[in-house]
Amino acid sequence: MSINNLFNNSVKRHENSIIVYKDITRYTYSQLRDRVKNLSSSLVKMGVKKGDVVAIADWDSNRYLEMYFAVPMIGATLMTCNIRLSKDQKIYTLNHCEAKHLFVNSDFEEEIKNDKGMLPIVLNYIICDDNNPHDDQYESLITSEDKDFSFPDIDEDSVATLFYTSGTTGLPKGFFFTHRQLVLHTLALSCSLGSNKCGQRLHNEDVYLPLTPMFHVHAWGLPYVATMMGLKQVYTGKYCAKSICKLIAAEGVTFTHSVPTLLCMVLDEAELEHVDLSNLKVLVGGASLNPPLLNRALSHGIDVWSGYGMSETGPVIAVNKMKQGILPDFRCHAGEPIPFVNIEIDSDTDLNDEQQLVGEITVVAPWLTPNYFKDNDNTKKLWKNGRLHTGDIGYIHENGSLVITDRKKDLIKSGGEWLSPNELENRALDIESIREAAFIAWPNERWGERPIAFVVPQDSTPHDEIKNRVNKHFIELTEQGKISKFAIPDLIVIVDKLPKTSVGKTDKKNLIKQLEKEMNDEY
């Protein structure tokens, strides 16, 4: 059960399916097979051996797709470098995983050249250049054909890929997946996405374009699924809402997956340029799909729904399956476990109410990362009693779907009561003049912690007026008995935008730092 088997079988069955990269290149799966074989052969000639780590720092591209296969298929490990990390974090991750060969987009060439002295283990640098074909070292590897080359036998339990978290708490943590794990995840995800009757499904005539980075857990594993199903695949390069909308229209894209932030950007562009998105299906994850964004997407005719997972879980472990007669807001639920996944709620908390068993979400599945790479301390926190602890708080709805309420570390405890930042953020988004909102916990001598609200205006409404609206709205909610009086924010901070992690989540650690700086400057 290896990547080799998945790839060879898929390209043989779907020889005429198409791969598209921006307006630069277009070729068939048959050509994809030849390109992957030539790349693998060139890697071996370069000195890549079984167990070596080969890293790639690139935008989403056909190159990335080819590396997904070519590197693991010779028994090496593909490290997908998170290009949105800081310079020091990127250097740390490349050294920590002992990458010996680095494929790098020319956009990052100067930075990498300046860092060479800090990357003593890297032996080879291969430049990927869209703008100057004659300088594209990657393509020169592809054109080097060895008719005698054959792929080696691969142990299904050998490590295929390696990735690092975005590192919002401490240094980035590395985790890995074997050939067997990736194939099992691919099979389970394709089964789940292809089995629903009422929309929210992936079928063999879909045109696929990923809108979650390929450096982030194999773009949720969907490129493997798309290849297995023989879908036409479209890759965007550097994310730009204008070029994304053009590709969706030109190539007839029907299926994508996205974090809420990028979906919002695409909707902005579509509304500005009158782009028809009514044939699009969007699986949303990485952060909660909030009702205002859901309704906005639905108004465009988009079939939008939620999934759930985390980097350490491969990542997808749950996908929403809408049934006839279900209210639209249920699309925001994280969904039902996909095949082979067991999800339970750890009741060892004081979060439960009279109606729901609320607690930390724990999971068991055959493709979960067994441990953090060279990090026993954090592994012990991740795995307890044979179950992976996600750090997410949630409950199982009566319809069987998983509902995520918060990150455990983001919860606010004020006056002895637990407050859900996610709920407060959704309440704030009910105010028309607010585009985004984030709530953080702030230390308080009397109450333990108090909520602080950061809001991004939707329009040019004066800041004082926005603060008044937020305050009035939350007071009314307490009077209506919908939220606790402790949920009224002590402070409302107006910002132009919310800081994001490399995978599009609100970076609350950064918000806390911003507030600490403002407090220090003030006093």
Catalytic residues: 165, 312, 413, 418
- Per the structure block, which two tokens stand in for 407? 């990150």
- Per the structure block, which two tokens stand in for 286? 């990485």
Query: At residue 38, what is the residue type?
Result: N
- Of 263, 325, 319, nearest in space to 295 by CA: 263
Alpha helices (H) in 215-372, listed in sequence order: 222-229, 241-251, 260-273, 291-299
Residues 6 or more apart from 512 whose CB is under 8 A from it?
Answer: 440, 442
Which residues on adjacent β-strands are paired with residue 443? 449
- For residue 5, with 0-12 CB atoms within 10 Å meaning exposed, 13-18 middle and 19 or more buried, which class applies? middle
> How distant, in Å, are the alpha carbons of 79, 212, 261, 356, 362 from that of 285?
23, 9, 10, 23, 18
> How distant, in Å, are the alpha carbons of 12, 206, 214, 447 from that of 320?
32, 19, 23, 38
Q: State how far Cα 300 lies from the chain centre.
A: 23
The angle subtended at Cα 58 by Cα 57 and Cα 63, nearest 5°, is 115
- Per the structure block, which two tokens stand in for 456? 């991004």
Question: Residue 161: what are its φ and ψ, rounded to 5°?
Answer: -140, 160
Element (H, E) at 186: helix 179-193
Element (H, E) at 426: helix 421-428
The angle subtended at Cα 45 by Cα 39 and Cα 49, nearest 5°, is 90
Cα 494 to Cα 472: distance, rounded to the nearest angstrom: 16
Long-range interactions of 205-208: CB distance < 8 A, separation 24+: 206/231, 206/254, 206/255, 206/281, 207/231, 207/232, 207/234, 207/251, 207/252, 207/253, 207/254, 207/255, 208/232, 208/233, 208/234, 208/253, 208/254, 208/255, 208/256
Strands 412-414 and 417-419: antiparallel
Q: DSSP secondary structure string, 28-40?
A: EHHHHHHHHHHHH
